[in-house]
Structure 1
Amino acid sequence: MRDKSSGPSALFKQYRPRAAASMAGGIMMVVARNNNAAGVQCDRLRVPVNGEIVLKKSDLWSVSYVCPGLALCGALSLYTDKETVSLLQPTCLINCAQELPDTPLPETVTKYHKVTVTDSPDTDLRPHMDRIADLIHQEYLNGGLTIVHCAAGVSRSAAFCIAYLIKYRAMDMTNAYRHLAMCRPCINPNQGFVGQLIEFEGKFADD
């Protein structure tokens, strides 16, 4: 059973302002090449200096590695951070921004999915959460990597990544949000998505 000692609602009150304040930050990335079936593996490291995190480039304009098989970003980051895209060698791309056209695919991508949702507290992501998490995990099991993006890589794509971490990485809401915020400090799912993710977590609370 997962630890429920710290409530998700309290966590989001703590992390949402912190995430928004981090938008001007960036990231240091260490890349380790691995010749196993999963291909190139990348780890992002936060380097503390005098108690603060030293960040190298803006997270808003970078592709953020989350865990084996998963990364997230904003739409423009596929072009502004081509170095990371090349290192990750994604095989699947999920576009979850209704207002954006279909994404031109990096050459390594062979699968493309679009989820037509808007970034509004009234938008219901729940009908899509299981399907998107399943797509990401199946791609990982096949040795690939999925990049999930929305317009900015802050709200919609972050919500779907949190759902994946809850369902397949044995994380509760608190740990999933904390992990994703460490990977990409600018995440800031809207309050409607937060409530939906708390409900989604309940499906796996006793796993």
Structure 2
Amino acid sequence: MKTIRIVMLALFCSMMAYTPAEAQVNKKPLKKEIKKKAVKEARKEAKKYSKQGYTTAPGALPMAKQIETAWMRQYEVDEEGFPLYIVASGNSVANTQSAAKLQATELAKLELAGSISTQVAALIENSISNQQLNAEEAASVTKTVAASKNIIAQELGRSLPLFEIYRTLKNKNVEVTVRMAYNTKKAMEVARKTLSQKLESETSLAHEKLEKLLKF
């Protein structure tokens, strides 16, 4: 009996030691596939932007490399297979590159917030039916969620810049295109906190219902 226990313990330890290595090996083909897709998409997109007269800032990484990184972020998934990042783009024209970049960045943040709001709205819609809210409560919640995009955009912290390209137009104005990413998990936390405050102040939902509604 003692011998069996020793053998079982040794087997368990060997399994524990092997599992992380096995998981790492299993991830390698996925990473290679992501890299392959990213390189393919980046070359295609960089070629298109180059033809349109876009370039990168002095000292920055080459356009194709920046775009490749952006595509890799878009393909990354978490352990459950869901997108790890929410990705958005912004484009703007202004008298100077810095002004155009600022405006493009704000537009990208709004697009990020819009994507977050859309995902949250779908989750809350499902939660509304599960929580059996009455028609008035449901309408109030839906209205508040729909109007939350700008507030979520303001509450978003630092996003991850993926690429920034620009071109000088014939009228000497500068056009800037940026792409950025935001961690999906963090984005949902920001949305939950923002909506909790808004729903608490703008609806008559009981605290218990509010907590259950935002349990996503």
- What TM bracket, shorter-length normalisation? under 0.3
Normalized against structure 1, the TM-score is what? 0.23
Greater helix proportion: 2
Normalized against structure 2, the TM-score is what? 0.22
Larger RCO, structures 1/2 (Cα 8 Å, 6+ apart): 1
